[in-house]
Amino acid sequence: MLTNSFGLQANAKNYISINSLDDLSKIENLYDKKLLILGSGTNVILDNYFDGTVIKVQLTDIENHKDYISVGGGVDWAQLIEYCLVNGLYGIENLTHIPGSVGAAPVQNIGAYGVEISSFIKNIECFNLKTKKLETLNNDQCKFGYRNSIFKSKDLVILKVNFVFEKSFQPNLSYPSLSQFLKDKSIDTSSLTPRMLSELIKQFRNSKLPDPEIEPNVGSIFKNPIVSVKDFDKDFLVGHKWDQGDGYTKLSSARLIELIESDLIIPDTLRFYENHSLVLINNGGASFNEVIYLLNQIKSRILKEFNIKLEIEPEIISV
């Protein structure tokens, strides 16, 4: 059974666990053409059977070097957050409470509340599935973008991520809704500590997003589209868009979904989260086909109604 936060029933033909670098020999002699590199399964929609080999990295060491820390791809993201808080390493407090593993974080270039993980990555140690050799890619070679990186090519297995964090604490409170949240709670931002900010971020996320261990989900189901300002009336989606500069704006996919939700055919096994329309919940027993049908409905309806192409954020893994 393949673990995934959406709670879909899924299995694979073969499964390889990388618990040490010696286990890479299992991949060196592997000639299966269908491969899936799976972290904690928090950002995937899995079909019921993967007719290939699943590779799961479970390296869990954290090594402290002079100028950087080296973190195994199998380390839980929450564990890294705690390690940084305890050891005086700062900058990723805003990424608290994001589910998943360290090895999966660079793939999507995870980000939240004005912070992206790529800003702290020195380089990444990986195994190239084509050359069957170890490689170390520097930050530029990773080709990081908005929820994107070179690792989406499926040719590289992330083994370790080497981070450079800040040695002094400067809270990033630039994200409007986060700033408002702190204001509503009467938080004196000048007195914030890293631990306080991390705990407040956890509260903030919990107020908007459901815990996948309680209500199975993969977080945001669509990316927020970035469009040209000239293609839309200036009043379109007022209050639900963010200026990106250079004539572009980012639109709220959640709001777009809300505008067409009444036209959708939604099975009883699925629902949108009451506090955030961009989060799809598996009520129990949802199938891969039901999820895909609903996502395609949304994409089609929004394209027809607003001429906007939505991009699914989690990775779709089909047979």
| Residues 314/110, Cβ–Cβ less than 8 Å | no
1 pLDDT higher than 80? no
Confidence band for 29, pLDDT divided at 50, 70 and 90? confident
Provide the pLDDT for residue 266: 97
- The pLDDT assigned to 163 comes to 98
> Could you give the C-alpha distances from 247 to 74, 118, 176, 226, 250, in angstroms and in order?
40, 25, 20, 10, 11
> Parallel, antiparallel, or unpaired for β 248-251 and 121-128?
unpaired
Count how many Cα atoms sit within 13 Å of the Cα of residue 89 in the half-sphere of its side chain: 19
Section 106-113 average pLDDT: 94
pLDDT at residue 155 tops 80: yes
Report whether pLDDT(116) > 90.
yes
What pLDDT sits at residue 32? Answer: 77
Model confidence pLDDT, tens digit, residues 53-91 = 999 999 999 999 999 999 999 999 999 999 999 999 999
| Residue 219 backbone zone (phi > 0: left; psi -120 to 50: alpha; other: beta) | left
**For the chain, what is the mean pLDDT?**
95
Catalytic annotation present for 271: no
Among left, alpha and beta (phi > 0; psi -120 to 50; other), residue 211 is: beta
Q: Are 97 and 85 in contact (CB under 8 A)?
A: no
pLDDT tens for each residue of 86-106 = 999 999 999 999 999 999 999
Tell me if residue 220 is catalytic.
Answer: yes
The verdict on whether 118 is a catalytic residue reads: no
Q: Residue 44 corresponds to which amino acid?
A: V
Residue 59 DSSP one-character state? -
- Dump pLDDT digits (tens) for 252-281: 999 999 999 999 999 999 999 999 999 999
Q: What pLDDT does residue 30 have? A: 82
Sign of CA dihedral 139, 29, 104, 67: negative
* DSSP code, position 168: S
Angle among Cα 204, 208, 212 to the nearest 5 degrees reads 105
Kindly report, residue by residue over 178-237, the tens digit of the pLDDT: 999 999 999 999 999 999 999 999 999 998 889 898 999 999 999 999 999 999 999 999
Residues of each domain in the chain carrying CATH 3.90.78.10: 226-317
- The domain made up of 226-317 is a member of CATH 3.40.1000.10: no
Confidence of residue 310 (pLDDT cuts 50, 70, 90): very high
Within 10 angstroms of residue 283's Cβ, the number of other Cβ atoms is 13
Query: pLDDT class for 33, splitting at 50, 70, 90?
Result: confident
Give the right CATH number for 59-208 from 3.30.360.10, 3.40.50.920, 3.30.465.10, 1.10.10.60. Answer: 3.30.465.10
pLDDT, residue 77, reads 97
pLDDT score for 63: 97
What is the distance between the terminal CA atoms of the chain, rounded to a whole angstrom?
A: 15
Pick the catalytic residue from 40, 147, 277, 301: 147
Among the listed residues 82, 135, 215, 313, the single catalytic one is: 313
Active-site annotation holder among 220, 253, 277, 301: 220
CATH 3.30.465.10 occupies which residues in the chain?
A: 59-208
Residue 319 has pLDDT above 80, yes or no: no
Indicate the angle between helix axes 194-208 and 77-86, nearest 10 degrees: 150
What residues form DSSP beta bridges with 270?
A: 282
Measure the CA–CA gap between 205 and 41, rounded to whole angstroms.
19
Give the type of residue at 233: D
Structure tokens at 36: 């899936």
CB within 8 Å of 162: residues ≥ 6 apart: 68, 69, 70, 71, 121, 122, 123, 124, 125
